[in-house]
Copies of this chain bind each other. A is one copy, B any other.
Amino acid sequence: MAELTMSEALNLALREAMDGDDDIITLGEDVGVNGGVFRITDGLLDRFGDKRVLDTPVAETGIAGMAIGLAIYGLKPVCEIQFSGFSYMAFNQIEAHASRMRWRSRGRFHVPIVFRMPFGAGVHALEHHSESKETIYAHIPGLKMVIPSGPRNARALLISAIRDPDPVIFFEHKALYRAFREEVPDEEETLPLGESRTAREGTDLTIVAYGAMLHRALEAAEKLAKEDGAEAEVIDLISLSPLDDSRFTESVRRTGRMVVVHEAHRSFGPAAEIITRLMEKSFYYLEAPVERITGYDIQVPYFAREQDYLPSVERILDGCRRALNT
**A94 CB, nearest partner CB in chain B, Å:** 8
A contacts with B, residue count (CB < 8 A): 45
CB-contacts of A267-284 with B (<8 A) = 267-273, 275-276, 279-280, 283
How many copies make up the complex?
Answer: 2
Q: Taking CB as reference atom, which chain B residue is nearest A134?
A: B268
Given contacts A136-B136, A280-B289, contact A127 B104 (CB under 8 A): yes
A2 on interface, CB distance cutoff 8 Å: no
A103 to B309 alpha-carbon distance, docked (Å): 15
Contact B85 A142 (CB under 8 A): no
Q: Taking CB as reference atom, which chain B residue is nearest A136?
A: B136
Contact B91 A139 (CB under 8 A): no
A138 to B133 alpha-carbon distance, docked (Å): 12
Given contacts A92-B88, A96-B85, contact A141 B297 (CB under 8 A): yes
Contact A272 B276 (CB under 8 A): yes
Question: Scoring A residues 79 to 117 as 1 if CB is less than 8 Å from chain B, else 0, what string do you get?
Answer: 000000110110110011001100110000000000000
A246 on interface, CB distance cutoff 8 Å: no
A190 on interface, CB distance cutoff 8 Å: no
A268 to B276 alpha-carbon distance, docked (Å): 9
| Additional A-B contact list (9), CB under 8 Å, known A104-B127, A138-B267 | A86-B92, A88-B95, A89-B92, A135-B135, A139-B269, A240-B268, A272-B275, A275-B279, A279-B279
Q: List 29 A-B contacts (CB under 8 A).
A: A85-B96, A88-B92, A88-B95, A91-B91, A91-B92, A96-B128, A103-B298, A135-B135, A135-B139, A138-B267, A139-B267, A139-B268, A141-B298, A141-B299, A142-B299, A240-B268, A241-B268, A267-B273, A268-B270, A268-B272, A268-B273, A271-B276, A272-B276, A275-B275, A275-B279, A276-B276, A276-B292, A279-B290, A280-B289
Residues of chain A touching chain B, judged by Cβ–Cβ distance below 8 Å, are 85-86, 88-89, 91-92, 95-96, 99-100, 103-104, 127-128, 133, 135-136, 138-142, 240-241, 243, 265, 267-273, 275-276, 279-280, 283, 288-290, 292, 297-299
Going nearest first, the 6 A-B pairs with the smallest beta carbon separation are A272-B272, A139-B268, A283-B289, A88-B92, A272-B276, A91-B91
